[in-house]
Amino acid sequence: MRAIALVLVLVVAIGCGPRNGPRTMHRAELTLAGALIGVLVTSAAMAALPDDKSTLIPIDVGFGVIALGSVGVYVVADVTSGPPMTKQQIDQDDAWQLTRRAQAAARTGDCATVHALEPRVIALDASFHDVVFARDVAIRRCLAAPAR
Write the pLDDT tens digit of every residue in 98-141. 999 999 999 999 999 999 999 999 999 999 999 999 999 999 99
- Tens of pLDDT, residue by residue over 50-74, are 888 888 888 888 888 888 888 888 8
Output the pLDDT for position 108.
94
- Both 61 and 131 in one domain: the answer is no
The total domain count for the chain is 2
Check pLDDT > 70 for residue 95. yes
Q: Rounded to two decimals, what is the model's pTM?
A: 0.49
DSSP string of 45-111, one letter each residue: HHHH-GGGHHHHHHHHHHHHHHHHHHHHHHHHHHHHH-SPPPHHHHHHHHHHHHHHHHHHHHHTT-H
Chosen domain end from 38, 60, 81:
81
4-43 core/surface letters (b: 16 or more CB in 10 A; e: else): ebeebbeebbebbeeeebeebbebbeebbeebeebbeebe
- Tens of pLDDT, residue by residue over 2-20, are 666 566 556 555 555 555 7
Residue 127: half-sphere exposure toward Cβ, Cα within 13 Å: 4
User: What is the CB neighbour count within 10 angstroms for residue 140?
Assistant: 13
- Both 70 and 91 in one domain: the answer is no
Domain containing residue 68: 2-81
Q: Which residue would you say has higher pLDDT here, 23 or 110?
A: 110
